[in-house]
Every structure is written in structure tokens, then in C-alpha cells.
Structure 1
Amino acid sequence: MTMTNPVTYPFSEPERLDPEPLFDRLRAEHPLIRVRLPYGEPAWMATRYEDVKTVLGDPRFSRAASAGRDEPRLRPHLNPPGSILSLDPPDHTRLRRLVMKAFTVRRVEQLRPRAQEIADRLVDEMIATGPPADLVDLFALPLPITVICELLGVPFEDRVDFRVWSDAFLSTTKYTPDEVRDHTDRMMAYMAGLIAQRRETPTDDLIGALVVARDEEDRLSEDELVSLAMGLLIAGHETTASQIPNFVYVLLDHPEELAKLRADPALLPQAVEELMRFVPLGVGGGIPRYATEDVELGGVLVRAGEAVLPALTSANRDESVYPDADHLDLTRAGTGHVGFGHGPHHCLGAPLARMELQVALGTLLRRLPGLRAADAPIDWKRGVSTRGPARFPLTWD
């Protein structure tokens, strides 16, 4: 293996929630390596924690510079026009400020009682039906979907449609390129319809506030408005809906750590942070940044115009930052993880995701004594860029 000749990435087929085994060697020997993803041009991949944080936070690495480039990616399609994910400050800052008030820690804590109410209702329904119960369909999906629908003002009864649209948007091989385009067009039309309704009948939900920002304050374009609403809906449920069953799976696989959490529910916030570090959610190497000037990174000179992929899952297992990094330790303290990213594009919804994950795990462990995997196979996601069970049968005492 060399650092300069592109290596095919992903290096291996993702297996459940196992980390990519090659990352350990790369961090030690080749912290920056040339890779080629299924689509787009070759790129460097950063694997060490400090290098990943540099790529995510240093203004010499740009998202906006991807415009007009065939950026490296797992999916055949690029982000839609006006996407906040494709912008740098100050444009990125302008859009982020429009919605950040809805996702502050204080605002999210005001949503906690409602999230708890939803979680308890879902568990009530699981208990009434009896085990085995599919954690994904009956709990992990409806909890964050209900919360984000109420926050945005999206009809919950349309969840089946936008669940398909979300899968298509994140598809690597699950859908054909034509199907991805069709579902993306449908989702954009759906969002445009909701926006038109808000113009006809103003509301005080988040989409209503964005329409006011567009029409009365001229703070974003129509493409930005549609794209931002789409992104909030997808990101607002997809990660949490995947991580709830992921976290349960990992805890059941680490009974000593699970026992700690059962014995001390106050450990939940810290446990969620450690699980965010430990669980490799994404299949790909992160969203690429382009160097705007020559930058030395990981002992390699990255030339201006070259793309760099920040490998978040590798950074979160960097032994120089996390002693015994491959060991799950719910009492681990110290350096923060990059599970929610870093820098200007640090996940806007991180406070919401943290709260939902705390509520979800706390409710499951409190309400379902003896929670464990049922004697039935777990179906794992295939062909999308996020890992996790598609079906996870559970039972309890």
C-alpha cells in the first residue's frame, strides 16, 4: 500500500457495527491516504483525530469549493442546489442562524417532556402487543419522526412517504440513480407544497418561520428554503432513528456496561457521549472538504484544489486520544468525540439528538426489565450510507 496511489474505498464491506479494521494501521502508518470512492474524483482521507478536526474546522478546507467539482462520494447523486451542507461562512452562517434557535440546549430541554410522553406511549403500545417487538418500527423510528414533524410542522401521517424519500437520499446501492432522482423530486415537490400552504395560511412552526424569513426578510433564496426544510426533516430523524437500535445492540453486546447504566441512570448523558464515539454510524469517509491553498496535514502536503475526506469513525477510535479506544467505557471522561462533527458544520441538531437518545435509552431500560434480543434474526441495513438494524426483534421479562 502507498499513500499516493488511490485505494478503493470502502476498504471492506461494513459488517454490522464493527469498525473498519484497516483504520488502526492507517492511523499508525499512513494517517493520510489517497482513496477513490465509487463516485467522483480521488481524494485524501484523514484518519487521525487531530487531522480530522483540522479538516472540519480550518477555513483552509472548504465545502463551497466543491461547487462544479465531481466530489468523492458513495452515492451517485450530489446534494441539491442551495444545500447548507455545500456552503462556507458567511453563507453557511446566514442559513444556520435562521434555525439554530430551535435547536439550542434550552429550547431542546423544553421539548424533553413531550419526547418522554411519546416514548412512554410507544412503550405502552409495545407492552400491550407483547414481545417479540421490532424496536425499529415500533420505537426507534416513530420517536424522532414525531418530534421533528411537530417541530417543523410536517404532517406525521406522511411519514411513510418521507421515510422512503430519506432512504433514497441516503442510498448508495439500494435505489437506482433514476429512482433516487424520482424520490428526491417527489420530496422537493412535497416540501414546496408545505411552503405554499404556509404562504396561504401562516403558522408558528419552524417551516412557517423559514417562509417568513424568505418572503418578508429576504434572508434566503427559494432553493435554499426548500433544501433547508428537506435537510432538517431527513437529518432530524435519520441519525437518531439509526442510533437508538445501534446503542441498544451495543449495550446488549456489553452486559457489564449495560449493568452500570441500569444501576445508575444518572450515567445516561455520559453514556450517550461514549456510545456516539464508539458506534461507527456512517459507511463513508465523511463529507469532503477542498484545500484552498497548500496545507501540510498528517505529514503530507495537500495541494490547493485537492479533496480531503475526514474519517470520523477512525478519529473516534484514535488511541492517542482515547486510551483503549476499542473498549466501550460508559464512565469514560475527557476529550470530546467527533460523532456530531466539528467546526462550522458541527451538527445543528446535536442537542436534540442527545436529548432523544437519553430519553429513548432511559425509557427502554426503565420500562422493559430484562430487555434483550429475541430469538429471531436482526436484519441490517444494506445499500444506504448509514449503518444499523432495519429490523431488531426484542423481548423482555
Structure 2
Amino acid sequence: MSDHPDPLDYPFWPTRGLDPYAGLPSLRERPLARVRLPYGEEAWLATRHEDVRVVLSDPRFSLSEAARRDPPRTTPQVSHLGGLVGNDAPDHTRLRSLLGKAFTARRIERLREDIRGIADGLLDRMTDTGPPADLVEGFAFPLPLTAICELIGVPRADHPHVRAWADTVCSGKVPPERMHREATAFTARLATWVDDHRREPADDLLSLMIGACDKDGTLSEEELMILVNELLVGGFVTTASQIGNFFSLLLHSRGEGRVLWDRLRADPGLVPQAVEELLRYLPLFNGMPLSPRYALEDIELGGVLVRRGEPVIGDLCAANRDPAAFPDPDRIALDRSGTPHFTLGHGIHYCLGAHLARLELQVALERVLTRMPNLRLTIPYDDLNWRSKEFFIGLHTLPVAW
């Protein structure tokens, strides 16, 4: 790609918190942009909704090809993930079919009361202690963390170790030596859970995967370990970040977030629509790219010829604010319908836990609105402490009172 203009530096880190990158509208005026990340080869960047949809769904764009390349990335170490998030069909299809039945909308809906119970237990603890409290550490993180750990079969005493490992993986700043050390320690802990479940199987996902490994032969031991790791980290960090993001917006004393909070208090039946629209509206990926997809043949995308072997990155946050797909995209509108947002992905790699994430976000809003209708920030919104240059946009803390 050396015959193209000089590439732009990427990611486009947001200046603060939930504000999207100011240059996105001008980027969407051109077909594709060429970008260079801190490490790896240059890439094409897609920002239009239609172009991102094609990159996510067209099998001529490959995720697994990155294992044979020097992929564009933000960290020095190359992480070839494999599993669900790094494989194409047919391996991805085989792995997803094994777990897919456990994450259907019907099965996940059966967990609603259990997750409400987790949420109420956390809110009981907050109210017993009394205000002020940190909604991030007291509620946003432990709610989805507890839910996914119980679904998989992680011992309760090890939940803090899962949280610590996820913090390491998602920070984007951990030196390679420390990453290797902590990965080794967490893998050893994971192996202990596997050994325990082999001796005493239970009604959980870990026992299901062990059975597929030992009895059916549909899963290798390496794939088992990768899948558990993916499910744990991917199963709570994004949702936990969005719970904090949701409430920071809703509790902002200025703007339409506070108006939405009052609407939800008056009509809790709007919560599902609010969750869907906030998933579209709020950036989650902190300017970080999707895993690059490599063109397996010459493909025209957005009027640009992407050559075989060139990587393309889709910017989900940009696509979710594309006015060609979402009229008046910078406004929160609960009556939107039709065009899907991409926060939970698209195509065969659509988030396996999408139904669980939606359920947890709905329960989080519902229970806090019910239990703490007068929730408020205890510091000015502009003083909130946001995570900087990490994989996901989120807060370190969210100080509240009620």
C-alpha cells in the first residue's frame, strides 16, 4: 500500500469520556481512510455503516488470516486469539454451535430473576453501607462478573482473580513480561477449575465444554482453555463498562441523558428501547479497532479497491453514528427501528452473549430506577475519572448518593 497517501495515526483517541472523535463526520465523506497503528502493517479504515457491515459479514474478509501476518495493533505483542473471536468458518462454526444453545434468547431469559437477585443483593449492600458509594465497583462490575462466572462454573472465591486478569488484558498498557507472567498464572488457575469439574461435573458451561473435549472430541484441550478465557473476559468487561457509561450519561445534570432518566422513572417499560438506543449512541471501544479483517481476494469496498492481503478495520462507533443509517444520529431516540447498530457485532462473529448483555443492562437500569430513583452524582460530571487509552471506554469510579 506504499503508493497511497500518508496514513493517519489510529486509533483516534476520544478527547474525554463519552465524546466521539470529532473528525468522524469528515472521515465518512471519503470512501476509506488509510491508517497506521502503533504496531503492525498499515490498514484501510471503514467508517461508513454500509462498509463496516460488509467487512463484518462478507466471508471474503478473514479474521484468521491475521495469524499469518503482522496485524495492525496497539500493543507490541501479537495476540492470535483463535477461539470464537479469531477463527473463520468452519472452525468458528464448530465452536459456536457447541455453545450457541446455552446463549439463546429463551435460555437467557430464564436467568432474568437470577440476575435480578444478584443486582438486588449488590444494591442491598450499598444501601446497608449508606451513601456515598461507587457505582462502578459496587454494582457495574460485580453484576455481570458474578453472572458470567456462575454460568461458566467459576468458584466464587476466584471471581476477584477473573476481574484482575480482565483488567490486565483490557488495559492495553501492560508490558509483555508482566502479561506473560499473569497469563501463565491465570492459565494455571483455569486448569485447576477444569480438573475440579472433571472430577465433579456440574450443570454449567465448563462441564459442557469438558464433555465436548473428553467424550465427543469436538473440542481440543487448547480450544477449551481459549474458549473459557474468551467467555470470561468478553462476558463481563464490555457490559460492566456500559453500565457505568449508561448511568454517567443518565445522571448528567445537563443534556438529554437526565431527560431520559426522568422518562424511564415515569415509564419503566421503556427500558428495553433505552438499552438498545444507548448501545448505539454511546461509544464503547475507545477508538480501538475491531480485529483487522484481511481481504482474501481483490474486493471493491466503498468505491475503493482493497487488494488481496490488505487488512481492513471497521470503526464501530463511527458506523453507529452514520447519518446515512441513523437519521439525526447524535440524538437519543427511543423510537428508532430498522437499521441495527454494531456495538454487539454483526455477521457470524455477532456477540455470542448479546442476549445476556442486553438482559444485564435492562436489569441494571430497572433495579436502580426502582431502588434508587433519586440517584445522583456526588461530584460534577466534568470531574469524572475516565479510563485513558484502554480497550474500552469506561470509568474508574462513579461516585453517587441517593
TM-score, normalising length: structure 2: 0.94
Determine if the alignment matches structure 1 residue 322 to structure 2 residue 299: no
1:1-397 equivalences in 2 (<5 Å): 4-28=5-29, 30-79=30-79, 82-173=82-173, 175-253=174-252, 254-283=257-286, 284-375=288-379, 377-396=383-402
Paired AA for residue 219 in structure 1: T
Secondary structure, counterpart of 1:35 in structure 2: strand
Which ranges in structure 1 are unaligned for 5 or more consecutive residues?
Answer: none
- Overall identity of the aligned pairs, in %: 49
Count of residue correspondences: 393
Judge which range, 357-366 or 73-82, deviates more: 73-82
The answer to whether the 8 A contact 2:249-2:258 is kept is no
Secondary structure, counterpart of 2:278 in structure 1: helix
User: Per-residue displacement from partner, 1:151-194 (whole Å, max 9, x unpaired)?
Assistant: 00001221222212111112222x21211222222222221221
Secondary structure, counterpart of 2:235 in structure 1: helix
User: Per-residue displacement from partner, 1:223-270 (whole Å, max 9, x unpaired)?
Assistant: 111000000011111111111010111122322222221111111111
User: Per-residue displacement from partner, 1:325-354 (whole Å, max 9, x unpaired)?
Assistant: 011223333311111010010000000000
The answer to whether the 8 A contact 2:135-2:397 is kept is yes
Distance in 2 between residues matched to 1:379 and 1:156, nearest whole Å: 29
Q: Calculate the aligned-residue CA RMSD, in Å.
A: 1.5
Paired AA for residue 193 in structure 2: L
Instruction: Please list every run of at least 4 consecutive aligned residues from structure 1 whose deviation after the TM superposition is greater than 4 angstroms.
Output: none
Distance in 2 between residues matched to 1:165 and 1:61, nearest whole Å: 31
Judge which range, 76-85 or 117-126, deviates more: 76-85
What is the deviation of 1:384?
2.1
The answer to whether the 8 A contact 2:271-2:362 is kept is yes
Which ranges in structure 2 are unaligned for 5 or more consecutive residues?
Answer: none
The answer to whether the 8 A contact 1:40-1:72 is kept is yes
Paired AA for residue 367 in structure 1: R
Judge which range, 87-96 or 257-266, deviates more: 257-266
